[in-house]
Amino acid sequence: RKEVEQDPGPFNVPEGATVAFNCTYSNSASQSFFWYRQDCRKEPKLLMSVYSSGNEDGRFTAQLNRASQYISLLIRDSKLSDSATYLCVVNSITFNKFYFGSGTKLNVKP
Amino acid sequence: NAGVTQTPKFRVLKTGQSMTLLCAQDMNHEYMYWYRQDPGMGLRLIHYSVGEGTTAKGEVPDGYNVSRLKKQNFLLGLESAAPSQTSVYFCASRAAGGKTEAFFGQGTRLTVV
Tens of pLDDT, residues A22-51? 999 988 777 789 999 999 889 999 999 998
The confidence score (pLDDT) of residue B96 equals 86
From the CA of A1, how many Å to the nearest CA of chain B? 12
Phi and psi at residue B70, to the nearest 5°: -120, 145
Residue B1 pLDDT greater than 70, yes or no: no
Residue B53 pLDDT greater than 90, yes or no: yes
Q: Kindly calculate the radius of gyration of chain A based on its CA atoms and give it in whole angstroms.
A: 13
Please state the rounded mean pLDDT for residues B29-50: 92
Residue B55 pLDDT greater than 80, yes or no: yes
| A94 and chain B in contact, CB less than 8 A | no
d(CA B14, CA B24): 25
Q: Which residues of B touch A97 (CB under 8 A)?
A: 45, 48, 58
**B 9-48: CB under 8 A from A:** 31, 33, 35, 40-45, 48
- Which of the 8 DSSP states describes residue B84? G
Please state the rounded mean pLDDT for residues B29-55: 92
Residue A102's alpha-carbon distances to A6, A23, A55, A95, B45, in angstroms, are: 6, 10, 23, 20, 12
Q: Kindly calculate the radius of gyration of chain B based on its CA atoms and give it in whole angstroms.
A: 13
The confidence score (pLDDT) of residue A96 equals 74
Residue B17 pLDDT greater than 80, yes or no: yes
